Structure 1
Amino acid sequence: MESFDEPHVARSCLSATTSGGRRAVLLTADGVRIDAAYDPPDGERDVAIVVAHGFTGALERPAVRRAAQVFSGYGGVVTFSFRGHGRSGGRSTVGDREVLDLTAAVGWARSLGYARVATVGFSMGGSVVLRQAAGAQGDADGRVDAVASVSAPARWYYRGTAPMRRVHWAITRPAGRLVSRVGLRTRIHSAEWDPVPLSPVESVPLIAPTPLLIVHGDRDGYFPVDHPLSLAAAAGGAADLWLEPGFGHAENAAEPELLRRIGAWVAARTA
């Protein structure tokens, strides 16, 4: 499977206005059609927040819609479904080519007139926002102004918890990919990574001086706290680290109060 090497932007965007916002189909640099939506801000805001969901998520899922609703108090919000998820085309590469999907969404946010764009990613999306920010330095359309990574892994191939062993079964086994496609509406690429993409912990040192927030729960059943600690250490003091008592994993566990704090952090760092 070909890995992400350079920042790319969407080559085209087909969009339509809907009540309260806009839906779009974005075309990534490698030709995958990505389902996306835009929610306008609640009031006058000049920053866009691009939300990157976790594995098996999609822009229509209640947890993603809840995050979009909260974040609209701090800026315009772009949500999208990663390749292989929801109504988007292609097949999931579980964090590799998804960087192109995010870059397409960032480019669309800028085309909507936002000079400042922040990314907020959850779990798999949390790893993608780190890799995208690291690779998009110096690229006008793909560059971001702040990054928040929530419940992200620090390294690839982690199997230290039962939930992650189930995830790896779903990714690597034909029966697992069938269950994912039928039951979770997630279509997974069967090819292994070749080469292995830059890991989140390897990406973090390349993000500065872009503001970076790392958020993780002490009850995360997928990735224990050594993952956010590793990410923060790799940032060399250039990241804010929130270890949240009682917080579980990703967007499904993120309560409105935590989402509001993340939105306020984005607004403060992009002011």
Structure 2
Amino acid sequence: MKASRRAAVDGSRFGAPATLRSFAVALLTALLTTLSLLGVVALRMARRVVTPAARVPDTHIVDIDVPAQTITLARTPDTELPGRYGLFTHGSTDYLKVGTVLSSDAHTVKRKLLTQVTGASTLSSEAAFSGWYYERPEELHLPFTVEHVHAALGTCPAWLFPAATPDDAAAETWVIQIHGRGTTRAECLRAVPVFHGLGITSLVVSYRNDGEAPRTRAGTYALGATEWRDVDAAIGWARRHGARRILLMGWSMGGAIALQVALGSAHRELIAGVILDSPVIDWRIVLAYQGKALRLPAPVTDLAIGALRTDWASAATGSDGPIPFDRLDVVARAGELRHPVLILHSDDDGFVPSSASHRLAEARPDLVELQVFTTARHTKLWNYDQRRWTDAITQWLRSHELVPAEAAS
């Protein structure tokens, strides 16, 4: 009995450390597994950020009333907005224009169809709601030509809309329109009539990896860090074709590109001003916001940003090289700005938070004017309130004497 009792005591004495060791190993294994999973999610997020994505459906078509020419969509913060919009879908047509909200309930929104649909039309129920409105340059019913800008990687197609004036001196003012991430230059067509009416020539450009301009080795975005060089080449092209004063207008990521051009262009002396619609001014703020919207832990977003900014992770993220987030942070570089800037941004953007726009306006009140919208969402300010959007740009141009005299009167 004594020996047995002694053995039991000895066993318990040596069993405790073994149990602790097993627990520690299990805990370490779980921790490493968790970190590995977080790393995988972070890399997926990083790859998603730089990869040009196909248009993702964000609503669905519930019903089309052909006799009444109305369309009923699933209700979302975008589909319930007043104004005119576009709708991407599939079937007998891939794009529809929609107008006024006619009625709505808790789940659906009925809108007027502005594109004729017949009983023979077949459409997918999945759709993507868009602020584009105009899909092709011909829809503006303005004279234009197809041009080709020679940039470092090759030829970038562009549309040129000459100024609505016979005065050669007035026609020396040009605006270069820069589209956003995951879109093409058609996004910018909404702005062309405004500048055309003010006697300003519009050059609507493409840039690397947007599906129209040349592709890099990896075919991914650098979030403005390299794309700006294609726009700078467009300024050189415009200069050779008579431009003597350049305005830059950027939409969303196009805003980040426009600011990089303003800060680094070899043609900075030609740039007279910058107009930004729903712009990305600091990518880290945007990615943190989107990570939170996806309910990702903050460390995952931090890991994604860390991966994107390092050269060694480029193979995993699919990028052409590291993303210089510090250089893309224009709030931090506000002191380098030399041109007047007009920012149009909605505080309920839903994709690119307006906080960085507010910070830039606070940092440089001498140069930056911020026009704050509400309920207009991302890059849909023209659609939501075309008059205010147009007046804001027109008045800003006049206040800085950036429109021909006859247009300003």
| TM-score normalised to structure 1 length | 0.73
Listed as ranges, the gaps of 5+ residues in structure 2 are 1-141, 295-299, 305-316, 404-409
- The 1:114–1:260 alpha-carbon spacing in structure 2 relative to 1, beyond 3 Å, is farther
Considering fraction of residues, name the structure with more helix. Answer: 2
Partner residue of 1:81 out of 187, 198, 206: 206
Using the aligned pairs only, state the percent identity.
Answer: 23
Q: What amino acid is aligned across from residue 190 of structure 2 in structure 1?
A: R
Q: Does 1:70 align with 2:194?
A: yes
Match of 2:392 in 1: 261
1:36 is matched with 158
1:12 corresponding residue in structure 2: none
Alignment partner, residue 151 of structure 1: 278
Which residue identity lines up with residue 332 of structure 2 in the other structure? E
- Is the CA contact 2:249–2:276 (under 8 Å) kept in the aligned structure 1? yes
- CA drift of 1:189 comes to 6.0
Q: Secondary structure at the match of 1:202?
A: coil
Unaligned stretches of 5+ residues in structure 1: 1-18, 173-187
For 1:228, the equivalent position in structure 2 comes to: 357
Q: Which residue of 1 aligns with 2:149?
A: 26
Q: Displacement of 1:146 after TM fit?
A: 0.8
CA distance in 1, matches of 2:288, 2:340: 30
Match of 1:106 among 218, 223, 235: 235
CA distance in 1, matches of 2:318, 2:164: 38
Mapping 1:92-241, distance limit 5 Å = 92-136=221-265, 139-140=266-267, 143-157=270-284, 158-162=286-290, 190-193=319-322, 195-196=324-325, 197-208=327-338, 210-241=339-370
| Correspondence 1:56 to 2:185 | no
Provide closer, same or farther for how the CA distance between residues 264 and 237 of structure 1 changes in structure 2, counting only shifts above 3 A.
Answer: closer
Q: What is the aligned partner in structure 2 of residue 243 from structure 1? A: 372
For 1:164 and 1:50, the matched residues in 2 are separated by 34
Which runs of 4 or more aligned residues in structure 1 lie more than 4 Å from their structure 2 counterparts after TM superposition?
162-166
* SS of match in other structure, 1:152: coil
- Per-residue displacement from partner, 1:15-37 (whole Å, max 9, x unpaired)? xxxx9222222122x33421111
Query: Helix, strand or coil: the match of 1:25?
Result: strand
- C-alpha contact (below 8 Å) 1:54/1:126 kept by paired residues: yes
Q: What TM-score, normalized by structure 2, do the two folds share? A: 0.50
Q: 1:164 to 1:152 in 2, by over 3 A?
A: farther
What do residues 220-270 of structure 1 show as CA deviations (whole Å, max 9, x unaligned)? 0112231111111232532111112332212x4423321453244235422
Query: How far did residue 192 of structure 1 move?
Result: 4.2
Name the CA shift for 1:189/1:57 in 2 (closer, same or farther; >3 Å).
Answer: farther
Q: Which region of structure 1 is more displaced relative to structure 2, 198-207 or 91-100?
A: 198-207
Q: Specify the alignment match of 2:9 in structure 1.
A: none
Looking at structure 2, the residues matched to 163 and 99 of structure 1 have their Cα atoms a distance apart, in angstroms, of 26
The answer as to whether partners of 2:181 and 2:254 remain within 8 angstroms in 1 is yes
Partners of 1:219 and 1:162 in 2: how far apart? 13
- CA distance, structure 2, for counterparts of residue 88 and residue 50 of structure 1: 16
Deviation of 1:64 (Å): 1.8
Partner SS, residue 232 of structure 2: helix
Tell me which moved more, 30-39 or 252-261.
252-261
Structure 2 partner of 1:7: none
Residue type of the alignment partner of 1:48:
W
How far the C-alpha of 1:132 sits from its partner, in A, is: 1.1
The answer to whether the 8 A contact 2:163-2:196 is kept is: yes
Conserved? CA contact 1:124–1:152, under 8 Å: yes
